[in-house]
Amino acid sequence: MPKHFRKVTDLTIPALHELFDLTREVKRHPERFVRALEGRTLAMIFEKPSLRTRVTFQTGIFQMGGQAIYLGPTDIQLGKRESLYDIASNLSRWVDAVMIRTFGHHLIDGMAEASSVPVINGLSDRFHPCQAIADFFTLQERLGPLQGKTLAWVGDGNNVLHSLALCAAMLGVHLRYATPPAHTPEAEVIDEARQIAQQTGASIHACFDPAEAVQGADAVYTDVWASMGQEAEAAQRKITFAHYQVNTELMQKARPDAFFMHCLPAHRGEEVTDQVVDAPSSIVFDQAENRLHAQKALMLTLMRR
């Protein structure tokens, strides 16, 4: 197992499957882990606000006997009031792991390089690995073995898509993504995913037409058109992404039993309609719940050494 969890590929493919197995055990038998992290402390650094990330990490470590310390934007300014090296060196003397939710991925890499305790990426501008782990665990609960299944992505080529692409490749899942031409994912990340896919039988297919991406898919995934930090672009993005809404008509092009997925929060009426997000086929709240279980398994893996 890795020392840090900065991106999905910090895990080997066997370690990813082991993490899913542990997530399943934690979810089914939480009573077995009530003292597993007793006396352990997680520092949670938030430069971006969050509902799911904060509650699931804080609740998760509490349910295993540990505690979390919240450090907001006014408490700590990564690399500004104090160097990353000094922050990491201090925290390494006091806590057992550090979770960071920030804008720049370089800040997570810098903290990890200087930290002697595990650093967990709670979200950065490049990756959202905790979300991807919970998402594919959720799909596995619904679909069973994921090898050969198809996940469609419609929307922005963002941090969530980056992590989904890497995770899909590791699990043998076919990923088809449709983005506007000016909002494609990073070529470096997609190249890495395709290299992994050659080993697992997965495929990573890019297109610009949502209907092409969704055709016959087992699940359809979308995210907000403008993420935190992109508020100035929101009006233009609404125009650019107007044809990338996941609605009932688009979902009908997927398999009849296809699931709808979203990392939340959802901007209803923009990237997804109420009819889709509230449909029986929507598993968005299962995804949100499984953030708790998957992150408990991740903390056990990294902190119980």
* Catalytic residue check, 291: yes
* Catalytic residue check, 218: no
Shortest CA distance to 123 belongs to which of 114, 133, 115? Answer: 133
How far is Cα of residue 24 from the mean position of the Cα atoms in its chain?
18
What confidence category does residue 284 fall into, taking pLDDT thresholds of 50, 70 and 90?
very high
Q: With helix as H, strand as E and coil as C, how does 32-60 read?
A: HHCCCCCCCEEEEEECCCCCHHHHHHHHH
Q: Are 154 and 220 in contact (CB under 8 A)?
A: yes
Q: Are 27 and 293 in contact (CB under 8 A)?
A: yes
* Catalytic residue check, 263: yes
Which tokens sit at 293? 């279980």
* Catalytic residue check, 223: yes
pLDDT tens column, 202-252: 999 999 999 999 999 999 999 999 876 667 788 899 999 999 999 999 999
Classify burial at 247, counting beta carbons within 10 Å of its beta carbon; exposed 0-12, middle 13-18, buried 19 or more. middle
Shortest CA distance to 120 belongs to which of 291, 265, 3, 264? Answer: 3
Give CA–CA dist 165/9, Å, rounded: 11
Q: Average pLDDT for residues 281-288, to the nearest whole number? A: 98
Give CA–CA dist 283/279, Å, rounded: 9
Catalytic residue among 135, 156, 218, 223, which?
A: 223
What confidence category does residue 77 fall into, taking pLDDT thresholds of 50, 70 and 90?
confident
pLDDT tens column, 4-54: 999 999 999 999 999 999 999 999 999 999 999 999 999 999 998 899 999
* Catalytic residue check, 245: no
Catalytic residue among 4, 40, 52, 101, which?
A: 101
Beta bridge partners of 158: none
Place of tokens 């799911």: 52
* Catalytic residue check, 167: no
Place of tokens 């995934």: 221
Catalytic residue among 162, 262, 291, 293, which?
A: 291
Catalytic residue among 105, 131, 218, 237, which?
A: 131
Which tokens sit at 179? 């983005």
Q: What domains does the chain contain, in order, with CATH numbers?
A: 8-128+291-303 (3.40.50.1370), 130-287 (3.40.50.1370)
pLDDT of 1 over the 80 cut: no
Give CA–CA dist 11/9, Å, rounded: 5
Could you give the C-alpha distances from 251 to 220, 245, 297, in angstroms and in order? 7, 10, 32
pLDDT of 134 over the 90 cut: yes
**Residue 276: CB atoms within 10 Å:** 24
